[in-house]
Amino acid sequence: MTEQNLFREAMGDVKPLKDSASTLWHKPPVVKVSRIQDDQLDNPLTCGHLDIVPLTIPLEYRAEGIQQGVLDKLRQGKYTVQATLNLVRQPVEQCRQALYLFMLQAARHNLRNVLIVHGKGRNDRAHANIIRSYLMRWLPQFAEVQAFCYAQNSDGGSGACYVGLRKSESARLENRERHARRCR
């Protein structure tokens, strides 16, 4: 009996998975953010005077009450990235608008972990570091942001950051109901 026949015999009753490509290899969606005029969106993110964050200081934040373990897991890439925003080589104002819209959409879709790509600068005055410095200012202004930090090398390293978002109230309620059923 040939190898091919042995294989067919062994696999005879196996049925292929439906849409196995998307089931097995999940790639996070890239959220496309449309360009918006200032008067269309009431964006509270400020663009004034900026204290540039030196490249030697890691992009990192943990909201009050958030355990260090959450930030550690975020830094290690343990949470699945659910959406990505690319701000590379975009003007500051466009980044400000795109970030605001992206965060609104993330909250609307109950996303918990997102990736923001800002690029890598060679020096403190590089455009990528200017955007990085603005992110350091802007992200804590969102009540939904629990923590953020630089990404793993596979997701952009120091040129990107993971952002951990709070659970929505509906997700919390769903969690409570699920745990209550389990305890009965």
pLDDT tens-digit map of 135-184? 999 999 999 999 999 999 999 999 999 999 998 887 778 777 877 776 66
Q: What predicted TM-score, i.e. pTM, was given to this entire model?
A: 0.74
**Which of 60, 57, 145 lies closest to 99, judged by CA?**
145
The number of distinct structural domains making up the chain is 1
Give a yes or no: residue 24 inside a domain: no
The pLDDT of residue 22 is above 70: no
* Lowest mean per-residue pLDDT among 38-52, 70-84, 132-146: 38-52
Assigned domain for 2 exists: no
For residue 3, being part of any structural domain is answered with: no
Residue 71 forms part of a structural domain: yes
**pLDDT at position 21 over 60:** no
Averaged pLDDT for residues 73-84: 96
Q: Are 120 and 157 in contact (CB under 8 A)?
A: yes
Is 38 inside a domain boundary?
Answer: no
Does residue 173 form part of some domain?
A: yes
Count CA within 13 A, CB hemisphere, residue 60. 14
Task: Check residue 31 and report its DSSP letter.
Answer: P
* Residue 78 falls inside a structural domain: yes
H or E element in which residue 142 lies: none
Within-domain flag for 36: no
**Domain of 155?**
45-183
Cross-strand pairs, 86: 117
Q: In this structure, what CATH number is given to the domain that contains residue 119?
A: 3.30.1370.110
